[in-house]
Structure 1
C-alpha cells in the first residue's frame, strides 16, 4: 500500500483551479498570531515581590477575525506582524513599562487592554475584510495571563 505520494505536477492557477475557486466560503474566520517581548516594570500600591523593579518575558496572542478575500485570506500573518512590530512592540520590548506606556499601573490587566486598543485601532486603519480584534491574551509568566475580549470592551 502506497502511503506517500510524490507530487509530479503542481496545481496551476487558471488551468487546474480557477481564480473564483480560491475563496472556498464566505464565513467569518479567526486567525491568531503570537509574539514575545522582554520588559521591566514594578507595581504601585502593591505589597508583594512585584512592587520592586523586575522583568518578564511576556507572550501576547492576538485573535483577529474577518471574512476571506478573493484568494481566501482573512489577513496576511505578515500584516499582523507589521502592526505589532511598527506600532505596538516599540513601546514594550526591552522597555521600562512604567515610563514607555501611558500612565497606568503596569499590571497585566491594564496592559492587555492597552494592547487590544492599539491593535484594534491599526486594524481599523487597514479597512479590509471587516477585520476586528476578538481577543488579546497577555502572558506575564507561562502560567499566568490576562485577557481582553471584544465583547467585554
Structure 2
C-alpha cells in the first residue's frame, strides 16, 4: 500500500556554472510530494498523515524562505552572511535533482515506522518540471 502527502515552500538558489538564466540569484515556489510504501500497521494505516506532517514540516522549517547555497559559492555565501540571511549551506549545486536526493536522504534518516518499505520524493521546481527519486528501506 502507498500513501502520499504534498508540501510547499519558498526558497532561493542559483547554479553558478549554468549557461543560462539559472546562474542568477532567483527563487522558486517548490512543491514536494512524499510517498511512503509499506504494510498496514495495527491502525490499518501505512503511516498516519499527522506523523508525515510532523516529519516533513520540521525539515521544511529549515528550507522555507531560505537560500540554498553551495559551500563553494564563496561570493553568494559571503553576501548571505553579510545580509544575515537565512541560508542552507550544502555541498552540491541546488538543482531539482540534488534537492530531491537531499530531501530523500533527510526523510529516510528520520525515525520511520518499521512497516515502511520505501520512500519516494518528487520535487517540483516549477509547475511543469520535477525530479523524482526513491529509496528502499531495510
Is the structural similarity TM-score above 0.5? yes
**Which is greater in Rg?**
1
Contact 2:41–2:115 (Cα < 8 Å) also in 1 = no
1:129 Cα offset (Å): 4.2
| Deviations, residues 35-67 of structure 1 (Å, cap 9, x unaligned) | 000011110211111100011000000110121
Cα RMSD between the aligned structures? 1.4
Contact 2:40–2:115 (Cα < 8 Å) also in 1 = no
The change in CA–CA distance for 1:70 and 1:130 in structure 2 (over 3 A counts) is closer
1:40-55 equivalent positions in 2, closer than 5 A: 40-55=12-27
Aligned residues: 119
Q: Distance in 1 between matches of 2:2 and 2:60?
A: 22
The change in CA–CA distance for 1:129 and 1:68 in structure 2 (over 3 A counts) is farther
Please list every run of 5 or more consecutive structure 1 residues that lacks an aligned counterpart in the other structure.
1-28
Give the 4+ runs in structure 1 shifted more than 3 A: none
The match for 2:68 is 97
SS of 1:74's equivalent in the other structure is coil
Higher strand share: 2
